[in-house]
Structure 1
């Protein structure tokens, strides 16, 4: 039996370049918590934490972006907040997490309190490159979702559009994790509709090889705008990832030593496809598998610590550093423990 993991929605990408924008970030997070029926006391806690995150982002990093997300399963919902910046980085993360620390070059006072308020918290910083912070808030510190923390994705719509044409889904069963990414053709609602259909079909499919899934997705997208799709099946026990792609979804297996690209065949799902082929690649312990749309440049180079960081931190850092094209952007990361 296989199940799709909790569904995430990137509700808002907000710039924090001025002090007044901190309030906009707080309102976005607390409004989402209220829509998800969080208790008033928890909404207030989230407001305080997000105010701290936004204030420190402006004060110590010179600005950046905050992403407000919802995470939903059949039984639970959560608010997730990401902060990304290109500031000076944090020289001593452990010290920055200590209550009472507020030094230029760190995120400042209150990080320890933010981490205690959050149900899941991660922080990664590189000197001279910037910092990524992730905080997830449940309504009442309920048990975590049915995920193992080894997969995460992130999407961002092109400027001027409210809906992103990129989407992804993750399915897990036993020792296998299967990833799917779709880049709907073009931008806006029609591209988003195509990618949502790809997610719906992928989650409904029975377990099977990636090439069969891509072929089914190709058929399912007929009548939509179509798009690029890719499916990667990670067999952690065998140490192999089997990959099939149609169109311009970039994919790679990343280790400390190298980034090994995976091959997609030309075509547009829903319109034109040659024979879909799958290829097998080695999946060493601790390796990461990265899929992303062409909203990210393929010319990114992993640093030595990439595979040791939480997948959502990796996805956010790649979006920050490689998401330089004016396009919808989506990235999906899985690590093999």
Structure 2
């Protein structure tokens, strides 16, 4: 299974008039994804409630939309993000609790309309995740999350991410093309295409193939993480400033990259191997995200869905001066 990365679609919610636009946008995305009228209606109902919830508790915020890859059919992800001073989560989960000054259906009812529902709220704000899959196909959810945003909402993004899943094995790629805009995206896409041909190859050989593919472009920074679910090991290879770490409940390990530019010049990189990683989080991010974050500052966040973790990190640590990507994967032998 190959998953090609895509930008997060962001809908600003600052006024009640934007709720209708959000509902129509999400319903259209659901229909384009192949949802029937009933499933598309669930998406429309939930996004209306989430948008109302943002206005009620934060006065402004964002809704993040993306299509989810599935083994049988694609799904829809909606994430509500705000920077308010927190809200009464238990009250909001009560059926009939109003989030917009009128009769609300409550987040408890919202959770039953979704296949995956998760919330993280503290004094910094709230992130609410809703994932939908067609109820005709009963697809299983992949325990991964991504938040990817281009600088100034440029349609071209110099960051690229790609995931390949083969049974219990997983290979993840993040490339940051130098600069931003179309030339940076062209460089990153050239590397992604080479990666997709052999994502589980020896990392030294794979890196050389990607380097050759990126020659003649701007080049970029790169990181490859290959998880072997049979051996419970992770092999990491990095060139440049893609950040990466493994996070367990009791420890966090940063993973080292080598200096250089893929498609430019670098010394042959040494892969690093990490043992006993099942049950840990793999987090990879471009330098559009600050590196001074620590999940221990967010009690309970480690146990949330990876998509919630990605959204929180982007909300609180995006530099705002470059394209930004954060990819969070729960390493487990059950991906297949």
Give the TM bin, normalised by the shorter chain: 0.7 to 0.9
Is it true that 1:121 corresponds to 2:117 in the alignment?
yes
Distance 2:295 2:212 in 1: 35
Distance 1:150 1:35 in 2: 24
Distance 1:41 1:281 in 2: 45
Equivalences for residues 72-83 of structure 1 within 5 A: 72-73=69-70, 75-83=72-80
Contact 1:296 1:324 in 2 (8 A): yes
Q: Residue 200 of structure 1 aligns with which residue?
A: 193
Alignment CA distance shift 1:39-1:114 (3 Å):
same
Distance 2:199 2:250 in 1: 35
Is it true that 1:24 corresponds to 2:21 in the alignment?
yes
Distance 2:113 2:14 in 1: 25
Alignment CA distance shift 1:335-1:52 (3 Å):
same
Distance 1:320 1:165 in 2: 19
Is it true that 1:60 corresponds to 2:63 in the alignment?
no
Q: Residue 13 of structure 1 aligns with which residue?
A: 10
Moved more, 131-140 or 243-252: 131-140
Q: Residue 165 of structure 2 aligns with which residue?
A: 172
Q: Residue 41 of structure 2 aligns with which residue?
A: 44
Distance 2:153 2:200 in 1: 38
Distance 1:158 1:206 in 2: 28
SS class of match (1:242): strand
SS class of match (2:53): helix
SS class of match (1:334): strand
Is it true that 1:151 corresponds to 2:144 in the alignment?
yes
Alignment CA distance shift 1:322-1:230 (3 Å):
same
**Cα offset for 1:183?**
1.1
Contact 1:9 1:71 in 2 (8 A): no
**Cα offset for 1:73?**
4.8
**Cα offset for 1:27?**
2.5
Equivalences for residues 86-125 of structure 1 within 5 A: 86-93=83-90, 95-102=91-98, 109-125=105-121
**Cα offset for 1:75?**
4.8
SS class of match (2:207): helix
**Cα offset for 1:180?**
0.9
Moved more, 191-200 or 294-303: 191-200
**Cα offset for 1:326?**
1.7
Contact 1:8 1:72 in 2 (8 A): no
Once the two structures are superposed, what CA deviation does each residue of 1:29-50 show, in whole Å capped at 9, x if it has no partner? 1222233343334333322211
Distance 1:305 1:283 in 2: 22
**Cα offset for 1:181?**
0.6
**Cα offset for 1:182?**
1.0
Moved more, 187-196 or 227-236: 187-196
Equivalences for residues 126-145 of structure 1 within 5 A: 127-144=122-139
Once the two structures are superposed, what CA deviation does each residue of 1:216-243 show, in whole Å capped at 9, x if it has no partner? 2111222333211100122345443221
Q: Residue 321 of structure 1 aligns with which residue?
A: 316
Distance 1:326 1:26 in 2: 30
Alignment CA distance shift 1:89-1:149 (3 Å):
farther
Q: Residue 176 of structure 2 aligns with which residue?
A: 183
Report the count of equivalent residues.
Answer: 327
Distance 2:322 2:259 in 1: 20
Alignment CA distance shift 1:77-1:160 (3 Å):
closer
Contact 2:225 2:236 in 1 (8 A): yes
Alignment CA distance shift 1:266-1:149 (3 Å):
same
Distance 2:52 2:88 in 1: 19
Task: Give TM-score, length-normalised by structure 2.
Answer: 0.88
Contact 1:292 1:330 in 2 (8 A): yes
**Cα offset for 1:8?**
5.1
Task: Give TM-score, length-normalised by structure 1.
Answer: 0.87
